[in-house]
Structure 1
Amino acid sequence: MVREYQARLAARPLFTQAVTTSILFAVGDLTAQQLVEKRGIEKHDFTRTGRMALYGGVVFGPAAATWFKFLSRHVNLRSPNATILARVACDQGIFAPTFIGVFLSSMAVLEGGSPKEKLEKSYTDTLLTNWMIWPFVQMVNFKLVPLHHRLLFVNVISIGWNSYLSFVNSS
């Protein structure tokens, strides 16, 4: 399985990362609905899971893969540790605030709701919660994980985070 993933990643990196992200965003929503909300399969909102998968594969996966490449190419300082801190600062100061807004707005549109209301209700708390978790995760990611696996690392850690996002979005 790992060998197959590596081969797909080498042949079609962006597509493979988008599909992987889509699947893992859906897993995050399944986790939210079944383990956090305890809905049971009969009350599972498959449309919501589909929205999460769509967002992960079409928006977040390609954007995050491109972002990690951008950081790797353009954020390089003399010290490796300074480079890591600068990449984390960019990630948490630019990407995270932007994509939390994109996520909440996208979900509101896909649900037929108001992006403005969704942002007013959830943006600040979601961003603050993000900052309690992701700077540390990204330090490990940028220090230890090769570029071509950074999105996968984030996606695996994101199963819990996506559960949280899905829960916040559905509240």
Structure 2
Amino acid sequence: MATFFRFWTRQAEARPFVTVAATEACLSACGDLLAQTIGKHVLVKPTTKDTPQEPKGYDLMRTARFVLFATCVSPIGVRWHRFLDKRFPIRSQTAWFKTRRKPSSSAFHLSASTLAARAKRRSEHRQTARQVGKRLVCDVLFYEPLMYAAFFSSMALMEGGGIEDAKYRVSVLLLPTYLAGLTISPIVQSINFAFIPLIYRVPFGSCFDLFWDSYLSWVNTEKLAMIEEQ
């Protein structure tokens, strides 16, 4: 595992866009196959005499569409994180991990250098918290809604629908999906922005997004069908 991690790091440093795109393709494929597996074996409608259920096979074209979208938008994710790093810089990515000495029984026993070091660490912590908060607000308010809109509209077009179908899918699925994402994405992205180096941020988020990709795949297919039935 360590060997693969070192190999991935070298490739990401040399070819960031290609490496991240390949990683996103693998993770999105796993996410869609997981969603299809859950839909096939878990979320199965009860069989009745009037509506017999035929076993469903895996829709590889559906997985291919999902992989194509993830691969195409991965460079946008890389550039977005670079923009956030440049626009809201953090002086030290490891500011949260700096060790703290135990306080003495009396403040008079502390040297001037120790007091200055503690004040500097507190200042770094506050600065890091502010910058992480700004990155998180921008990500939640701008990047995520645009990505959801791009995902649902792209799926509609790749499935053979037209512009009206893309507009309909975005209008029906965007808001509930965005609200559902707010339950988990701020936590994951706060960790991502505060602790993870820039080169690993997109793959780190994608590892957590493996299950979220499964949810998106389910929303784009099964939930849309449920809404249209109603």
Match of 1:16 among 4, 15, 19: 19
1:69 to 61, 82, 91: 82
User: What amino acid is aligned across from residue 152 of structure 2 in structure 1?
Assistant: L
2:169 corresponding residue in structure 1: 118
Instruction: Tell whether 2:128 aligns with 1:80.
Output: yes
**What is the distance in 2 between the residues matched to 1:105 and 1:89?**
24
> Which residue in the other structure is 2:140 paired with?
92
Counterpart residue number, 1:30? 33
Mark the runs of 5 or more structure 1 residues left unpaired by the alignment.
none
Q: How many residues align?
A: 169
Q: How far off is 1:23 after superposition?
A: 1.1
How far is the alpha carbon of 1:42 from its aligned partner? 6.2
Flag as ranges the 4+ runs of structure 1 deviating above 6 A.
none
Deviations 1:147-170 (A, max 9, x none): 100001011001000000000001
User: Which structure has the bigger radius of gyration?
Assistant: 2
Kept in 1: contact 2:40–2:56 (CA 8 A)? no
The amino acid that maps onto 1:8 is: Q
- 1:138 pairs, out of 173, 189, 198, with 189
Greater relative contact order (CA < 8 Å, ≥ 6 in sequence): 1
Residues 1:44 and 2:95 aligned together: no
Deviations 1:1-39 (A, max 9, x none): 1121112111101110111111111111011011x2126
- Are 1:165 and 2:216 an aligned pair? yes
Aligned partners of 1:7 and 1:140: how far apart in 2? 23
Q: Please tell me the residue identity of whatever aligns with 1:48.
A: R
2: CA distance, partners of 1:58 / 1:124: 23
Q: CA RMSD in A?
A: 1.7
Distance 1:62 1:170 in 2: 26
Paired residue type of 1:89: V
Deviations 1:109-140 (A, max 9, x none): 10112101111221110010111110111001
State the alpha-carbon separation in 2 of the partners of residues 7 and 75 from structure 1: 26
Identity %: 34
Instruction: Give the corresponding residue for 1:109.
Output: 157
| TM-aligned CA deviation for residue 76 of structure 1 | 3.5
1:39-64 per-residue CA deviation (whole Å, 9 max, x = no partner) reads 699610000000111011112x1111
Amino acid at match of 2:215: Y
| Distance of 2:174 and 2:56 partners within structure 1 | 30
Q: TM-score, normalised by structure 2?
A: 0.70
Q: Measure the CA separation in 1 of the matches of 2:212 and 2:56.
A: 24
Change (3 A) 1:39 1:50: farther
Instruction: Report the residue type matching 1:10 in the other structure.
Output: E
More helix by share: 1
